[in-house]
């Protein structure tokens, strides 16, 4: 087992659902709901907050107008977004490995 893999297992609802289901011999759906309860308490949906921040940010409408009226910028925008998320994903997997 990787040095920090046990930490991941503590926080993964799927792992807990499997363990709870094996211990209680109950259906997996009930175990999954029980395992996700701690996750729901520490993680919350930030979609509404992001919408408010986007409304307050003056650069979001400007970006939308530029992308609509200057088609070559769409490709550049996509490449920048793709690079950012690739870099993010690689760093996350590097730290987990």
Q: What is the DSSP string of 27-88?
A: -HHHHHHHHHHHHHHH----HHHHHHHHHH-THHHHHHHHHHH-THHHHHHHHHHHHHHHHH
pLDDT in tens, the chain (97 residues): 566 666 666 666 666 656 655 665 555 666 667 667 777 777 777 888 888 988 898 898 898 899 999 999 999 999 999 999 999 999 999 988 7
User: For the chain, what are the domain ranges?
Assistant: 1-44
Sequence-separated (6 or more) residues with CB below 8 Å from residue 7: none
Vertex 44: Cα angle to 58 and 47 (nearest 5) = 30
* pLDDT of amino acid 37: 74
pLDDT value of residue 9? 65
* pLDDT score, position 17: 59
At 46 the pLDDT is 82
């Amino acid at each position: 087992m990787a040095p920090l893999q046990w930490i991941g297992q503590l926080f993964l609802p799927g792992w807990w659902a499997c363990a709870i289901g094996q211990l209680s011999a109950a259906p997996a759906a009930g175990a999954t709901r029980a395992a996700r309860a701690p996750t729901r308490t520490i993680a919350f949906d930030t979609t509404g907050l992001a919408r408010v921040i986007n409304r307050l940010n003056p650069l979001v409408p400007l970006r939308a107008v530029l992308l609509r009226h200057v088609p070559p910028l769409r490709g550049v925008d996509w490449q920048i977004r793709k690079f950012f998320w690739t870099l993010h994903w690689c760093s996350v997997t590097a730290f987990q490995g």
